[in-house]
Every structure is written in structure tokens, then in C-alpha cells.
């Protein structure tokens, strides 16, 4: 799945390393003038140390540098940690996708870059 993902022309994925350890990864799809955040994940042992903020900040700068004008994402309604991270960066809720994850609704969020 990862191999297919990073092979897509629209895909921009990155990893964060601490020595030999992969501690975070994430990326987005660049479609027209929009960056669609596909995922951002920090290793459980490294959470709540500011890495998520650093990584999201990097993805926002990378997409803005490619002249993309908006970042969009979906997040599980129950994922309050991620929603709080996104709100900290100025993301606003633009809607709900009912049962997007099968068992749960997605909250749609966006931010102008």
C-alpha cells in the first residue's frame, strides 16, 4: 500500500527519523491547487512531544511552497487529539461525511495556505 502510495505522481510523503528510528510519517496529495492531507502519524512512544506540530508545520510549508492554496483533510469524529492539532493550525470544519469510515463519520476540515 505504501509503495503504491508513494509511486503516485500527486503524492508527497515524508518520514521523520530519530537516528535509525522512524518516528513519524505523513503526506498529502497535490490535486489542482489543493493539498489533500492523506495522513500524519507519530509513533505512539513519541507522541505529545511536539512532533505532530513540527511535522504538520513542515507539510503546510511544503504545500504552500508548491503554490497550493488550500489544505483539506478528513478526520474521525472521535479523534479529538488530531482535531485539536488541526485547529491549532487554523483548520476550520467545513462539513461531515456520514459513515465515511464505515463505522464512523468523518469531520472535513480545511485551511487556506
Ligand X SMILES: CC(C)(COP(=O)(O)OP(=O)(O)OC[C@H]1O[C@@H](n2cnc3c(N)ncnc32)[C@H](O)[C@@H]1OP(=O)(O)O)[C@@H](O)C(=O)NCCC(=O)NCCS
Kindly list the residues in this chain that would bind ligand X in the complex (CB under 6 A).
39-42, 47-53, 75, 79-82, 84-85, 88
Q: Shortest gap between Cβ of 53 and ligand X (angstroms)?
A: 4
Residue 30: all three cell numbers together? 497535490
Contact in structure between 58 and 15 (CB atoms under 8 Å):
no
Query: Which one, 50 or 90, has the nearer CB to ligand X?
Result: 50
Name the 3-class secondary structure at 69: coil
Q: Closest CB to ligand X belongs to which residue?
A: 52
34 forms beta bridges with 31, 70
First to last CA, the chain: 28
Query: Which one, 13 or 67, has the nearer CB to ligand X?
Result: 13
Q: Shortest gap between Cβ of 44 and ligand X (angstroms)?
A: 8
Query: Which one, 60 or 85, has the nearer CB to ligand X?
Result: 85
How many angstroms separate the CA atoms of 110 and 16, rounded? 24
Q: Shortest gap between Cβ of 7 and ligand X (angstroms)?
A: 22
Amino acid at each position: 500500500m505504501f509503495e503504491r502510495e508513494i509511486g503516485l505522481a500527486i503524492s508527497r510523503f515524508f518520514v521523520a527519523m530519530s537516528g535509525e528510528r522512524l518516528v513519524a510519517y505523513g503526506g498529502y496529495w497535490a490535486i489542482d491547487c489543493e493539498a489533500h492531507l492523506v495522513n500524519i502519524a507519530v509513533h505512539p512512544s513519541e507522541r505529545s512531544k511536539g512532533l505532530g506540530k513540527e511535522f504538520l508545520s513542515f507539510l503546510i510549508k511544503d504545500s504552500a511552497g508548491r503554490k497550493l492554496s488550500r489544505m483539506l483533510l478528513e478526520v474521525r469524529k472521535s479523534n479529538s487529539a488530531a482535531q485539536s492539532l488541526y485547529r491549532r493550525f487554523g483548520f476550520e470544519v467545513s462539513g461531515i461525511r456520514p459513515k465515511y469510515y464505515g463505522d464512523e463519520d468523518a469531520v472535513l476540515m480545511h485551511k487556506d495556505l
